[in-house]
Every structure is written in structure tokens, then in C-alpha cells.
Amino acid sequence: MELKKIGIVLVRPQLPENIGMVARVMQNFGLKNLILVSPKKNWLNKKSINAAKKGSKIIINSKVYFSLNEAIENFNFVIGTTNRQRFLEKKIINNFSSFNKQIKINPKTAILFGPENSGLSNQDLRLVDFLFTINTSSVNNSLNLSHAVSIISSNLYEFFNNKTNTFFLKKNKISNKKELNFFIEDIIKKLDKKRFFYPVAKKASMIDNIYAIFLKASLSKKEINTLWGIVKKLEK
């Protein structure tokens, strides 16, 4: 897997200069694929360009999407970063050894970073395969957006450029997120018509659980097509 293919996804970034500093960090460590989801209006300005320094080309070539679903649809593995406890059915990793292993076996990986003021929402995290937390002092566990990207990017650069990492791991052949999420969304619509989500107050958490079930399965495109066939057969 090429380092430059890893997607660094900033979800609803608030400050243009933070986007610029992230691009600078990416340039430092050989990452090229910057993706923005619903950035503030007029984010591409002097502040972001100046903060990027030699990484300005990364900003200019960045891809912008209005929805996270659309932004990750071509990736087959998604990691969400968080610095606080989440009550979700998600695997949480806080060491780079496990993090690197997942990156190694999943050739198309996106790493999500949330807004500076609040981090990723539970609805964002519904779409990720696992959560990653950077270990910090308990006195202050809040990292600036560019600092968090810098720590992870530095680790990736070191891992992919360390010639001693010659171990072989079979790459996962899981479907991309477009195929998987389209299937899950269709299942949810069908369940909604059958009034499955009861009581209504628990609908969001029930949907979270449905996403968690299918994400844990690491389904291939062939397996998803089989599930489509089963669902259609049951509907007849």
C-alpha cells in the first residue's frame, strides 16, 4: 500500500488555518490525499494557503464533499479518531501497533478527524470500522487538529519507511463503503416501513447497532451481493 493513498478526512473543519496546517503536516510525512467534508464557506483563502507553506498543492488538490457518506464511498476501511469515551459498539484502539496492522491489511483506508470544537459526532462514528485514541496526559487530553494529524502522520511515515517491517499480512478483500452503506441504508428503510424501530426514542441507537453488526463482518462485494439476493427472496 502506498502512503499517499491513505485518505486524511477532515469533517466539518472550522478554521482555514487549521486546514492549512494539516496540509503542511501531510506534506512533511508524504501524505497527499486530503478530503474535506462540509468545510466553512470561503475556507480556501490566504490563511489556509499561508499556513500550508509547501503543502499548498495538497490544499489546491483536495476533494470537498457535503456528506461523509459520499466522502468515504471509495474506501474499504475507515478509522475514526476520538479523545473521549464513546458509548458505541465499536472497537477502540489506543496503540500504534494495532493501528498499523489494520492499515497494512486494508489497502484503501480513510482516517477521520472531527471539528475542532466538538470532534466527530456519534452519527459520523456510525460509519467507521474502529475508533483510535491518541494516548495523552490526563491533565489535558485535547489536541489541536493539526497536532493530532501530525502524530498519526508521523507514525505512518515511520511505519511505511521502516525496512524492518517485512512481515506479510493477507490484505482484506472487503467491499468499499459505497456498496456497504447502500445496502445498510436499504435494510434500514425496509425495517422502518415495517415499524421495526420501536420505541422511536431508541431509533438512533438501534441504527448504530445495525451499522456495527455489518461493519464487524468485513463483508466482501460477493457477500453483499448474496445478502441482496436473500433480502429480495424474502420480500417475494
- The answer as to whether 14 is a domain residue is yes
Question: 181 and 156 in one domain?
Answer: no
Examine the domain organization and report whether 42 and 67 are in the same domain. Answer: yes
Average pLDDT over residues 141-148: 87
**In this model, does residue 220 exceed pLDDT 90?**
no
Quote the domain boundaries for residue 221.
Answer: 177-235
Indicate if 38 and 101 belong to the same structural domain: yes
The total of other beta-carbon atoms located within 10 Å of residue 200's CB is 9
Whether residues 185 and 224 fall in one domain: yes
Banded model confidence at residue 102, pLDDT cuts 50, 70, 90: confident
223 in a structural domain: yes
Same domain, 145 and 216: no
And the C-alpha cell for 148?
493530532
**Separation between Cα atoms, residue 210 and residue 87, nearest integer Å:** 15
Residue 165 resides in a domain: no
Give residue-wise pLDDT tens across range 4-14: 789 999 999 99
Least confident of 88-97, 185-194, 200-209: 88-97
- What percent of the chain has pLDDT above 90? 55
User: Does one domain contain both 124 and 35?
Assistant: yes
Q: What is the pTM of this model?
A: 0.85
Residues 53 and 111 in one domain: yes
Of the three residues 108, 131, 160, the one that is the final residue of a domain is 160
Question: If you average pLDDT over residues 100-109, what whole number do you get?
Answer: 83
Residue 69 within any structural domain of the chain: yes
The whole-angstrom separation of Cα 34 and Cα 42 is 17
Q: Note whether residue 23 is domain-resident.
A: yes
Please indicate, yes or no, whether residues 117 and 152 belong to a single structural domain of this protein: yes
Q: State the CATH number of the domain containing residue 15.
A: 3.40.1280.10
pLDDT at 43: 93
Residue 88: pLDDT over 80: no
Same domain (yes/no): 97, 196: no
Distances (CA, A) of 25 to 144, 160, 166, 169: 13, 16, 26, 28
Domain boundary among 97, 125, 160: 160
Q: Does residue 169 register a pLDDT over 60?
A: no
Q: Is the peptide bond before 115 cis (omega within 30 degrees of 0)?
A: no
What are the distances in angstroms from CA 147 to CA 96, 117, 140, 226? 16, 14, 14, 43
State whether 84 and 127 are in the same domain.
yes
For the chain, the average pLDDT equals: 88
How many domains, the chain? 2
- Assess if residue 26 is contained within a domain: yes
- Indicate if the pLDDT at residue 87 is higher than 70: no
pLDDT of residue 174: 84
Task: Give the mean pLDDT of 114-134.
Answer: 90
- Say whether both 184 and 227 belong to one domain: yes
Whether 124 and 182 share a structural domain? no
- Look at residue 87 and give its three-state secondary structure: coil
Integer Cα distance of 177 and 188 in angstroms: 16
In a domain, 169, yes or no: no
List the one residue out of 31, 32, 29, 18 whose CA is nearest residue 61: 32
Domain boundary among 126, 160, 194: 160
* 152 lies in some domain: yes
